[in-house]
């Protein structure tokens, strides 16, 4: 039986995840090659904090501490030898302060020595794990293709993610993702109905032009340069256009009504919260229109506990998400040079999930594929069509 179907059949408290084991994760995701070199990248706001691991003394760097304790120390305490690998060093780069923004080349090692990512790191490691505050999937995907390494981005790692999304069997995750990918691939259009607490229904239509659906499934094996985004488990498209409207909950809790024309968010209107938040978004949309382009539509494929971090929560079956901005790492056309300011060239996910957006419901998600019409999601639950696909 499908891993997702097994999990759906159990009460949440009865779902079992084995303890996190880095060796199991590396074998599952990468099937590492004998003698391959591996390293870890972390981000810091001040690279002097890297010297002698001074960042460990500051509780503000919980993500970096987990990188040190669960990855760096694990590699040094036997996993490197067990896998027949070498290296295991950790390097720090400057925080980007934005999702998928390009990384500065400067980095430092534990001795505080100044190094270059492109000169000293990328060409010399076969596997690179980036455990950071902000996602680096887009820039590392570009660098992997340029320098020939494989790797994974694991931004925002917390204890829930370690104990669930990074402890699953990724062969099973891959199989379920493929079943759902086949159920959705070559879709022409996806329509999503959102119902606000006022009873108003907003509908967004995304045009896909029968493109082949892609999957983020966690496996990054073989010799092809690639970057896995972990935890994995989604089916996604790069929209060719979009129209309509949808609600968005901003970081401060403000709720806006976003109008989409020609594949791009053109304006936000206040539903509830702070008008200044909406005004700031509108100003950004005017100054740099590419920031409003819808560059991704994704559907979760796993049954996982809510972690409070979108990197895992967007992988939950029954949720969906859109993303604005750059999509070159997904095979899309939007790259940093197209933005008026490269600092705006982020890839920002907009997650629709019960815990994240309790002030509106996804009434229904519908797929049009040729003459076929299917419901995919209703009220944040996978449809029978998707459940049947998983059962095959």
Examine the domain organization and report whether 315 and 176 are in the same domain: yes
CA distances from 38 to 79, 109, 166 (A): 11, 14, 18
Comparing 9-13, 106-110, 319-323, 370-374, the range with the smallest average pLDDT is 9-13
Whether 147 is in a domain gets the answer yes
Whether 192 is in a domain gets the answer yes
Nearest to 84 by CA among 151, 38, 22, 152: 38
Last residue of a domain, one of 96, 128, 162: 162
Examine the domain organization and report whether 89 and 214 are in the same domain: no
Q: Which domain holds residue 79?
A: 20-162
Q: Which residue has the tokens 């539509």?
A: 297
How confident is residue 13, by pLDDT bands cut at 50, 70 and 90?
low
What percent of the chain lies above the pLDDT cut of 70? 97
Contact 249, 255 (CB under 8 A): yes
Q: Looking at residues 102-108, what average pLDDT do you find?
A: 98
Q: What is the pLDDT of residue 16?
A: 77
Q: What is the pLDDT of residue 241?
A: 97
Last residue of a domain, one of 162, 194, 227: 162
**pLDDT over 80 (residue 247):** yes
Q: What is the pLDDT of residue 1?
A: 64
Examine the domain organization and report whether 218 and 236 are in the same domain: yes
Examine the domain organization and report whether 302 and 352 are in the same domain: yes
Examine the domain organization and report whether 181 and 257 are in the same domain: yes
CA distances from 281 to 244, 249, 275, 334 (A): 18, 12, 10, 20
Q: What is the pLDDT of residue 11?
A: 56
Query: In the chain, how many domains are there?
Result: 2
Residue 264 corresponds to which tokens in the numbers above? 């791009």
Q: Looking at residues 19-27, what average pLDDT do you find?
A: 96
Whether 8 is in a domain gets the answer no
Whether 3 is in a domain gets the answer no
pLDDT digits (tens, 9 = 90+) for 321-356: 999 999 999 999 999 999 999 999 999 999 999 999
Whether 1 is in a domain gets the answer no
Which H helix or E strand runs over 258?
A: strand 255-261
Q: What is the pLDDT of residue 379?
A: 97
Q: What is the pLDDT of residue 157?
A: 97
Q: By three-state DSSP, how is residue 323 classified?
A: strand
Nearest to 322 by CA among 272, 357, 287: 357
Examine the domain organization and report whether 45 and 81 are in the same domain: yes
Mean pLDDT of all residues in the chain?
95
Whether 272 is in a domain gets the answer yes
Q: Which residue has the tokens 């950071």?
A: 132
How confident is residue 389, by pLDDT bands cut at 50, 70 and 90?
very high
Examine the domain organization and report whether 195 and 77 are in the same domain: no
Examine the domain organization and report whether 140 and 176 are in the same domain: no
Examine the domain organization and report whether 134 and 270 are in the same domain: no
Whether 13 is in a domain gets the answer no
Q: What is the pLDDT of residue 5?
A: 74
pLDDT digits (tens, 9 = 90+) for 118-165: 999 999 999 999 999 999 999 999 999 999 999 999 999 999 999 999
Examine the domain organization and report whether 116 and 196 are in the same domain: no
How confident is residue 4, by pLDDT bands cut at 50, 70 and 90?
confident
**pLDDT over 90 (residue 10):** no
Whether 332 is in a domain gets the answer yes
Looking at the DSSP bridge assignments, the partners of residue 91 are: 41
Q: Which residue has the tokens 């950004």?
A: 284
Tell me the pTM. 0.94
Q: In degrees rounded to 5, what are phi and psi of residue 49?
A: -70, -10
Examine the domain organization and report whether 313 and 197 are in the same domain: yes
Residue 373 corresponds to which tokens in the numbers above? 């019409």
Residue 188 corresponds to which tokens in the numbers above? 């022409």
Examine the domain organization and report whether 196 and 154 are in the same domain: no
Nearest to 10 by CA among 280, 241, 304: 304
Q: Looking at residues 230-251, what average pLDDT do you find?
A: 97
Last residue of a domain, one of 128, 162, 196: 162
Contact 89, 40 (CB under 8 A): yes
Contact 348, 258 (CB under 8 A): no
């Amino acid at each position: 039986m499908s891993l997702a179907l097994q999990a759906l059949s159990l009460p949440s408290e009865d779902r079992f995840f084995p303890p996190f084991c880095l060796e199991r994760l590396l074998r599952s995701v990468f099937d590492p090659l004998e003698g391959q070199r591996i390293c870890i990248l972390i981000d810091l706001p001040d690279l002097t904090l890297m010297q002698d691991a001074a960042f460990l003394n500051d509780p503000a760097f919980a993500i970096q501490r987990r990188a040190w304790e669960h990855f760096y120390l694990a590699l040094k305490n036997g996993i490197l030898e067990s896998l027949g690998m070498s290296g295991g060093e950790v390097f720090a780069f400057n925080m980007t302060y934005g999702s998928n923004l390009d990384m500065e080349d400067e980095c430092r090692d534990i001795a505080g020595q100044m190094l270059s990512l492109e000169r000293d790191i990328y060409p010399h490691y076969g596997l690179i794990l980036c455990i950071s505050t902000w996602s680096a999937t887009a820039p590392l995907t570009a660098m992997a293709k340029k320098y020939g390494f494989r790797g994974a981005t694991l931004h925002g790692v917390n204890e829930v993610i370690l104990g669930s999304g990074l402890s699953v069997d990724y062969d099973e995750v891959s199989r379920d993702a493929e079943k759902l990918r086949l159920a959705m691939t070559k879709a022409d259009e996806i329509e999503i109905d959102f119902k606000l607490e006022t009873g108003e229904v907003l509908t967004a239509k995304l045009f896909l032009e029968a493109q082949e659906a892609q999957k983020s499934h966690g496996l990054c094996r073989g010799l092809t340069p690639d970057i896995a985004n972990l935890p994995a488990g989604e089916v996604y498209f790069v929209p060719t256009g979009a129209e309509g409207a949808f609600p968005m909950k901003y970081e401060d809790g403000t709720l806006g009504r976003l109008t989409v024309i020609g594949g791009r968010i053109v304006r936000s209107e206040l539903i509830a919260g702070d008008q200044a938040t909406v005004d700031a978004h509108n100003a950004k949309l005017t100054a740099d229109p590419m920031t409003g382009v819808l560059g991704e539509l994704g559907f979760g494929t796993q049954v996982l506990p809510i972690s409070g971090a979108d990197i895992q929560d967007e992988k939950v079956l029954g949720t969906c998400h859109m993303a604005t901005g750059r999509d070159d790492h997904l095979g899309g056309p939007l790259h940093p040079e197209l933005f008026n300011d490269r600092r705006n060239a982020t890839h920002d996910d907009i997650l629709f999930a019960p815990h994240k957006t309790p002030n509106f419901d996804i009434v229904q998600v519908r797929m049009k594929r040729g003459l076929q019409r299917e419901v995919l999601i209703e009220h944040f639950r996978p449809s029978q069509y998707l459940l049947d696909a998983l059962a095959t």
